[in-house]
Amino acid sequence: MKRKEVALITGGSRGIGFGIALQLAGAGFDIAINGVRPATAVNNQVTELEKLGAKVLYCQADISSADDRARMLGEINGFFGRLDVLVNNAGIAPRERKDILDATEESFSELIDTNLKGPYFLTQSVARWMIAQKNQFNDFRGSIINISSISAIVASVNRGEYCVAKAGVSMATQLFAVRLAEYNIPVYEVRPGIIHTDMTAGVTEKYDRLIEGGLTLQKRWGYPEDVGKAVLALATGLLPYSTGQVINVEGGMLTHRL
């Protein structure tokens, strides 16, 4: 019997990450989700994923920490014995939105460590593990999916550190796509737009007005399941000849118009 594939979704217990986890669990993946909250805080999410038929592991870990990343992968290996899909989703917003003329080095370092350095080196470790699994299992496919943001290419001067980190994630996607091509391990970038999550709760009124005014072609917010469905297509191999590519999930926001 074919072994079930396992997906790790960082930041997978809330928002976009949980939307991704739900889609993958419903499609037959076993799931490892990561977050910084204690396990007791995510019992409901774990139960919901298990009801979809998934075997679920929650890993409390800060992906900006090398020790936490190594421990998390050890837990996944001990629990599942494999990892087929990495979804680098975990990320934070600036604690305070400040104009780039006033932003602090502390905020910049925190965003870079969590949103760029963490996923970059987690990908490095997972890529090595995936290469080893390629050599061990004939049916192993493997894929890596980075969740960036339209902020990778759309400048927001009141959260420059976030934009710089997401632009770095975009380049990391290209770098790992090139490096892992010889092993036929595709690497993709999913670029969400305005997605209704707890991270955007504080700017709901602002974006309600902008969406109604035509900011997006599709006049609605995006939802975590919209991103989840894009990740599902990539994780299940429906775009096998598209490594290194960007999938925009932004309701047509980036479409040029006259």
CB burial class (10 A; 0-12, 13-18, 19+) of residue 114?
Answer: buried
| pTM, two decimal places | 0.96
Set 58, 120, 162, 188: catalytic member: 162
| pLDDT tens-digit series, residues 76-124 | 999 999 999 999 999 999 999 999 999 999 999 999 999 999 999 999 9
3 falls in which pLDDT band (50, 70, 90)? confident
Beta bridge partner(s), residue 222? 195
What is the percentage of the chain residues whose pLDDT exceeds 70? 99
Treating both helix axes as pointing N-terminal to C-terminal, what angle do 66-80 and 118-136 enclose, rounded to 10 degrees?
Answer: 30
- Based on the residue annotation, tell me whether 162 is a catalytic residue of this protein: yes
| pLDDT at position 1 over 90 | no
The residues near 210 (Cβ < 8 Å, ≥ 6 apart) are none
Ordered domains of the chain (ranges, CATH): 6-248 (3.40.50.720)
